[in-house]
Structure 1
């Protein structure tokens, strides 16, 4: 059954006109009145619906009763990643969404290859949020991964509040001796470096903000592989 994200609140059963983004998807698939589809607005519920009218400028659907599917991770996981170059960030956003990340924080660090700021950063963030929404539609998630604004690593660390008792913070570092192990907290924040890794000063700054340096094994993983390895482990543990 086709499944679409709707960027407007779905509040109660009844008929409504789809917003332009979802309407275009329905038109591309050439759905007809009476055809079934699934809608979600990112707040948690999922709605079964059926097309009631198709027009050139408007698509109307009838919402049925909502359901509450349980497809999210048991923990809220945020990935703070120094952005990899080229199209690897798109890949990372897509797979992080499929694997259940609650949020993704793009960062710029000392050794970054990809450096974004201003309007260019805003456009990239909007693009990545679109990638996350598409991945949520495909994977069955009802809450797409939230893509935060691009920030310099130093500014982001300085703005972090102290870690609460319910949050665990991990720094993915090839220089760490401690392997990643199970933790009890319901929220986790993982910081991962770019192709060249974080500098010693950046790792020290992260430790000062409550991050524990952990290793993912003896091999050096790519900047887009390490955070996904963590998510895979958490999704299956």
Structure 2
């Protein structure tokens, strides 16, 4: 049986007894029904793993004894900041989950002219908390020890206008160049993925104003969630650690 990987929201010591967070304790004690003596693998976002043994477990409280701190990094050498226009329903959750698995470092949800999601500030705050939990769960599954940040929701132009010292890309079906023709080396990419209806003509012009390069993925029109996965994979194959 694979040893469960559990995220801890605070920095962990190299040894000693630690109480898991309420959410983690509920998962370990109530959902997985783990008992004292069983092993877990903790991580706290510091790019390290902490093998531990459960010393006390109930449905509401779980204590573990940390055995060691091991520096283990599976982070990509390519730093990808994904700007994803918020998509409907489970599509956004899917995009966040798979982006984390593929090694994205930062995710910023965006609002554009054709964004199909209309929520008030309170609902968006709840969405952000939910998306961050999805990112954490993806790290637990895929072995990452650094949890990508889900930034607060921004308007598209505000995000494009931010200072950035890496390559800035906007996918466009009429672009001349592909990811495979981008010059090397590239270590940082700010990647813009538009909404289901695409960016408006004014928004495309705006991205050019802020020096985004347009690239082509292929001859077929992809859904927004497929576009994100395809572009990230292509970038990781060319400049990162896939393939």
Q: TM class by shorter-chain length?
A: over 0.9
Instruction: Please give the secondary structure, in 2, of the residue aligned with 1:65.
Output: coil
Match of 1:190 in 2: 191
Match of 2:241 in 1: none
Match of 1:168 in 2: 167
1:75-122 CA deviation, whole Å, 9 max, x = no partner? 111110111212110111111111111111111111111133411111
Task: Name the CA distance, whole Å, in 2 between partners of 1:56 and 1:221.
Answer: 45
Task: Name the CA distance, whole Å, in 1 between partners of 2:49 and 2:220.
Answer: 41
Match of 1:41 in 2: 44
CA positional deviation for 1:56: 4.6
Match of 2:87 in 1: 84
Unaligned 5+ residue runs, structure 2? 239-243
Q: Residues 179 and 234 of structure 2 are in contact (CA less than 8 Å); yes or no, is this contact kept in structure 1?
A: no
Task: Please tell me whether residue 216 in structure 1 is matched to residue 223 in structure 2.
Answer: no
Unaligned 5+ residue runs, structure 1? none
1:178-201 CA deviation, whole Å, 9 max, x = no partner? 111344132111011111111121
Query: Residue 100 of structure 1 is aligned with which of 76, 84, 103?
Result: 103
Task: Please tell me whether residue 230 in structure 1 is matched to residue 225 in structure 2.
Answer: no
Match of 1:142 in 2: 145
Q: Which moved more, 1:187-196 or 1:53-62?
A: 53-62
Task: Please tell me whether residue 177 in structure 1 is matched to residue 215 in structure 2.
Answer: no
Q: Residues 26 and 60 of structure 2 are in contact (CA less than 8 Å); yes or no, is this contact kept in structure 1?
A: no
Q: Count the aligned residue pairs.
A: 233
Task: Please tell me whether residue 60 in structure 1 is matched to residue 59 in structure 2.
Answer: no
Evaluate the alpha carbon distance shift between residue 11 and residue 210 of structure 1 in structure 2; reply closer, same or farther with a 3 A threshold.
Answer: farther
Match of 2:114 in 1: 111
Match of 1:205 in 2: 206
Evaluate the alpha carbon distance shift between residue 26 and residue 44 of structure 1 in structure 2; reply closer, same or farther with a 3 A threshold.
Answer: same
Instruction: Please give the secondary structure, in 2, of the residue aligned with 1:225.
Output: helix
Task: Name the CA distance, whole Å, in 2 between partners of 1:144 and 1:116.
Answer: 26
* CA-atom RMSD in angstroms: 1.5
Task: Name the CA distance, whole Å, in 1 between partners of 2:52 and 2:176.
Answer: 52
Match of 1:18 in 2: 20
Task: Name the CA distance, whole Å, in 2 between partners of 1:25 and 1:39.
Answer: 13
Q: TM-score, normalised by structure 1?
A: 0.93
